[in-house]
Structure 1
Amino acid sequence: MELGLSLAGIPRDAATLAAVARRAEESGYGSVWTGEAWGSDAFTPLAYVAALTSRIRLGTAIAQMPARTPAATAMTVLTLQQLSGGRLVLGLGASGPQVVEGWHGVPYRTPVQMTREYVAVLRRALAGAERLEFSGSVYSIPYTGTDATGQGRALRTTMPPAADTPILVAALGPKNVAMAVEEADGLLPYLWSPTRWDRAWGDTLAKAPEGFEVAPTVVACVGDDLDACRDRVRPQLALHIGGMGSKSKNFYTALVARYGYEAEATRIQDLYLSGDRAGARAAVPDELVDDLALVGPLPRIADQLAAWREGPVTTLIVEPTDLAMLEPIANLW
């Protein structure tokens, strides 16, 4: 199992990013991962990191599919693979309707079919073996809609191909995870439970082909005061379980409920959506914090990691609450 480092929450100024990238590679992290919401994009920081490092893998966790056409993502991937010597791991996600429609200004489509077609188009574009043509219910290349000019023609990339680029999908719902197992090279879950993952993912992941990657992101807080560490990560867990979506559509609430924390998830969401964010944070029980995060003194985290090593995880992407924890976690690993 590889140790990865999430760059979420790390300032995007050049000096900080450069220092963290070098520290990660020198400390033995196998990969660094960036994401995007409605601030920094996921790819530009990786291009900068690629220029400062030599071996560490560069992952997006995640790049939002609705933000770019599949061909635009293919161009970015092909460029970064050439510049980095083939170190990019492409992690994709559908995001949610609040961001897709509220920020990108495009319709939120059914994630399963959109992702399936998006990955199919990407693979053809990255292979570069033939002109890009695709006819699906979501994507049509060349475009042939009623408002088309009729002048579009199939093209093939002028860049060196990168057909072996790993494509991972951030999926949580049962149907989307099943699609990822069928179409992608790996899964990028969030709020992974090393003790209860099989309740939500077991039957589906049992069908995954050999070499299928599972790369969850886990928040980590190292410190002698266990209660203080738990309190450091509670706000993030409460945000996702309670506020990353609406009452009718929150993938994280549903996932935690499938783990067996249905009452806890419902209470956290109700408090958060009512405006009582402090109450929502307080409603995240110690048991749930300990299950979904790495918290406490290093010997305790070592014990927690034993459970993570027993499951199907291939890359553990650690998101430390403080950069001072970067080397201690790597040394423990």
Structure 2
Amino acid sequence: MTVPLGGVSLAEHAAVYSALADAGFTDVWTAEVAGTDAFTPLTLAAAWEPRLRLGTAIAPVFTRGPGLLAMTAAALAETAPGRFQFGIGASSPVVSGDWNAADFVQPFARSRDMLRFLRSALAGEVVDKQYQTFRVKRFRLERPPATPPQIMLAALRPQMLRLAAAEADGVILNWLSPGDVTTALAETKEARPGFEVAARIFVVPTEDAGYARTVGRRMITSYLTVPAYAAFHRWLGREAALTPMWQAWESGDRKGALAAIPDELVDELIVHGSPDQCRARVQAYADAGLTVPVMALTPTPELERGGFAALTELIAALGPR
């Protein structure tokens, strides 16, 4: 499950983590966009609920320096030995540049260089090296973790997917259908045994299909207009389906962009329906090759009316059988 959950303060998440573990969820994963940072919710989970594994999806490679990113990951790995999977990725020009004053240049090279640096640093090595995108002079962690975390790389298209297979412990996918998983994983055939495959799956847990599709369209215009995701879906073969939305968005016609997204596309990319239907759709992702299918709950009118009691009931209903 993606945490933190909406409508619940971080200080109140101890009950959320317990409910997730009781329901059979194995992992909690974070994102880092403009809400919480990627590490604080996981640190709380590590302290409050030892049954859960932890993961970042993702910690951006542009928004922290190499040493700070290594120290932050090492601290969480020390807090939760053997339970932390460290997902990194390029993020986007908006997150990195507009919001964090970092130059979003050479995202592939920066991701590769940070992956290689972190592998060495988290193993406790002295790193004194000129990488293509940055220079590190004699850095060594004072507290290297006894159990270094698995390092996973966010990837969308062939070059980054092949890098993940060659050098990372796993790959993190995003914004794709169960059928798209097979296409993406065809580029990771050289991965070593035990290679993890994670993806965030957006779940709108309501049987009101009209409401779910309205929410899904807003999410699609927010993400699939980002250049990297647009290129990803062109590669997946959705150029014809998405071009009307892209054209309307580029012209400033936001309502037209929403209206141009067909129901069928929303239903491919957004899980919605009853808890049983949502679980079945998530299972389809696992059957396609995900080893870590990560739900991301979107608020619904039912949850807003029912409050925390409705949320805990939903968590129990969504948990694996």
Tell me whether the two structures share a fold, i.e. TM-score over 0.5: yes
Give the AA of the match of 2:110: M
Identify which of 223, 242, 253 aligns with 1:276: 253
2:237 aligned partner: 260
- Counting only pairs closer than 5 Å after superposition, residues 224-235 of structure 1 correspond to structure 2 as 224-235=207-218
Matched, 1:135 2:135: no
Give the AA of the match of 1:252: Y
Query: Matches of 1:29 and 1:90 in 2, distance apart?
Result: 19
1:150 aligned partner: none
1:147 aligned partner: none
- After the TM superposition, which of the residue ranges 268-277 and 204-213 deviates more from structure 2? 268-277
Identify which of 206, 215, 224 aligns with 2:198: 215
Q: Map Cα deviations across residues 271-302 of structure 1 (whole Å, 9 max, x no partner).
A: 23333333322322222122212111344335
Matched, 1:330 2:308: no
Matched, 1:112 2:104: no
Give the AA of the match of 1:328: A
Query: What's the offset of the Cα at 1:79?
Result: 1.1
Query: Does structure 2 retain, via aligned residues, the 8 Å contact 1:182–1:208?
Result: yes
Identify which of 87, 90, 101 aligns with 2:86: 90
Query: Does structure 1 retain, via aligned residues, the 8 Å contact 2:5–2:297?
Result: no
Query: Matches of 1:50 and 1:192 in 2, distance apart?
Result: 29
Query: What's the offset of the Cα at 1:71?
Result: 1.6
Instruction: Flag the 1:301–1:35 CA change in 2: closer, same or farther, 3 A.
Output: closer
Query: Matches of 1:96 and 1:258 in 2, distance apart?
Result: 18
3-state SS in 2 of match to 1:228: helix
- After the TM superposition, which of the residue ranges 274-283 and 69-78 deviates more from structure 2? 274-283
Query: Matches of 2:13 and 2:283 in 1, distance apart?
Result: 30
2:179 aligned partner: 195
1:35 aligned partner: 31
Query: What's the offset of the Cα at 1:312?
Result: 1.6
Give ranges in structure 2 of 5+ residues lacking alignment.
304-310
1:292 aligned partner: 269
2:69 aligned partner: 73
Query: Matches of 1:56 and 1:262 in 2, distance apart?
Result: 39
Instruction: Flag the 1:225–1:14 CA change in 2: closer, same or farther, 3 A.
Output: closer
2:16 aligned partner: 20
Q: Map Cα deviations across residues 84-142 of structure 1 (whole Å, 9 max, x no partner).
A: 233221111111223322222222121221111111111111111x3222222212221
Instruction: Flag the 1:7–1:284 CA change in 2: closer, same or farther, 3 A.
Output: farther
Query: Matches of 1:137 and 1:160 in 2, distance apart?
Result: 25
Matched residues, percent identical? 33
Matched, 1:168 2:152: yes
Q: Map Cα deviations across residues 249-285 of structure 1 (whole Å, 9 max, x no partner).
A: x111222222222122222222233333333223222
Report the TM-score, using the length of structure 1 for normalisation: 0.85
Instruction: Flag the 1:280–1:162 CA change in 2: closer, same or farther, 3 A.
Output: farther
Give ranges in structure 1 of 5+ residues lacking alignment.
143-153
1:179 aligned partner: 163
Query: Matches of 1:100 and 1:212 in 2, distance apart?
Result: 28
Give the AA of the match of 2:17: A
- After the TM superposition, which of the residue ranges 51-60 and 158-167 deviates more from structure 2? 158-167
Give the AA of the match of 2:316: E
3-state SS in 1 of match to 2:174: coil
Q: Map Cα deviations across residues 26-79 of structure 1 (whole Å, 9 max, x no partner).
A: 211111111112442111221122211112011111111111122211111111
Instruction: Flag the 1:12–1:182 CA change in 2: closer, same or farther, 3 A.
Output: farther
- Counting only pairs closer than 5 Å after superposition, residues 284-323 of structure 1 correspond to structure 2 as 284-322=261-299
Say how many residue pairs are matched.
309
3-state SS in 1 of match to 2:25: coil
Query: Matches of 2:24 and 2:276 in 1, distance apart?
Result: 19
Instruction: Flag the 1:40–1:310 CA change in 2: closer, same or farther, 3 A.
Output: closer
Report the TM-score, using the length of structure 2 for normalisation: 0.88
